[in-house]
Amino acid sequence: MSDVTCSKNRGVATVRLHRAPANAYQETFLSTIGETLASLEADNEIRVVILESGLEKFFCAGADIAVFQSNSVAQNLALVAQARRNAAAIENSNKIIIAKIAGHCLGGGLEIALACDFVMAARGNYRLGLPEIKLGLIPGNGGTQRLVRRTGLAAAMELLTTGNSIDPERAQQLGLIDQLIAADALEQLCQNFAEQIAQAPGLALAASKKALRMGASLSLEKGLALEAELADSLYETADAKEGLQAFIEKRAPVFNKH
C-alpha cells in the first residue's frame, strides 16, 4: 500500500497518510503528498479535501529525525523546500482543506495542520507542539508565522521557546484547533461538515478563501478593494445566475462544476 492514499465522495476528497510508525516524513513521502494535492487541485469535482492519518497514534510526527540527521545539509534543504511547497499548496489551494487530527501532531506535522483552513480534532490522550528548539532548530515550514496568526504572540512565544507540547484541550483554547470532538464522533462530523461546504459553488468558495487568506495581511482599504474585485468577478457567472434563480423559485440551486 502507498504511504498516501486518496478517496473521493460527494465533492470531498480524503487524503490519508499511513507511513508507519508515525507518518514521519522524508522526501519521497512529501513528494507523494505534493503530487496528490496537485492532482486534486486539477479535479473540478472536488471542493473540499480532508487530510487525515491512517495510523492509530499519530497524525504526523514531522521530519524523520534519523533521516534528517544522516542527510547532508543540501538534502535537508531539499526536504524542507518540498515541505514548504506542500504547505503553500494547501494555503493557496482553491479547495477548502481540513486537517482531521486524532493523534500526536508535532513539528512539521503541526505545520501541515497550521496551513489548513480548518483543524478538526478528537478529544484524547495525545500531544501537539513544535519541539524544534530542543534540536537546536526552529520550525522552518511556516510554523512560526502561521502559529502566531492563530494563537497570538505570547502563546506562540511560549510554545516555540520551550518546545513543550500541549494537549488537545489546551490547543483548542489557544486557537490551534477549531473544533474538538469526541473521538467516536469525529469521522462522521468531519465528513458531514466537509460535505456541507462541498455543496457551495466552487468559484465562490475559492473567492471566499482568497479574500480571507490574502485580506488578512492587507490594510482594511486594500482588503476591501480585494473583496470588491473578487465579488464583482462573480456577478456574471452561471453559478450566481443559478443561485438567484433558485432563490426566486424556492428550490435548491444546482451549481456547475468548475
pLDDT tens per residue, range 67-123: 888 999 999 999 999 999 999 999 999 999 999 999 999 999 999 999 999 999 999
Tell me 251's DSSP state.
S
Is 238 a domain residue? yes
pLDDT above 70: residue 257: no
Q: Quick check: is 111 catalytic?
A: yes
Q: Quick check: is 132 catalytic?
A: yes
Is 256 a domain residue? no
Is 253 a domain residue? no
167 with 220, same domain? no
Task: Select which of 27, 52, 132, 227 is catalytic.
Answer: 132
Q: Which domain holds residue 234?
A: 202-248
Both ends of the chain: CA-CA distance in Å?
A: 31
The pLDDT, as a whole number, for residue 258 is 59
Considering its fold, how many domains does the chain have in total? 2
Nearest to 49, CA basis, from 8, 14, 92, 93: 14
Is 257 a domain residue? no
What integer is the mean pLDDT of 181-188?
Answer: 98
CA distances from residue 167 to 73, 102, 121, 123, 176 in whole angstroms, order as listed = 33, 11, 11, 9, 11
Is 146 a domain residue? yes
Is 216 a domain residue? yes
pTM of the model: 0.94
Is 88 a domain residue? yes
49 with 108, same domain? yes
CA distance 233 to 227: 10
12 with 90, same domain? yes
50 with 133, same domain? yes
110 with 138, same domain? yes
Long-range contacts of residues 67-75, Cβ cutoff 8 Å, at least 24 apart: 67/24, 67/26, 75/27
Question: Residue 64 — very low, low, confident or very high, per pLDDT cuts 50/70/90?
Answer: confident
The pLDDT, as a whole number, for residue 2 is 86
* Cβ(111)–Cβ(136) below 8 Å: no
219 with 193, same domain? no
The CATH number covering residue 213 comes to 1.10.12
The CATH number covering residue 47 comes to 3.90.226.10
Task: Select which of 27, 52, 111, 227 is catalytic.
Answer: 111
CA distance 77 to 146: 20
Is 258 a domain residue? no
Neighbours of 140 (CB within 10 A): 19
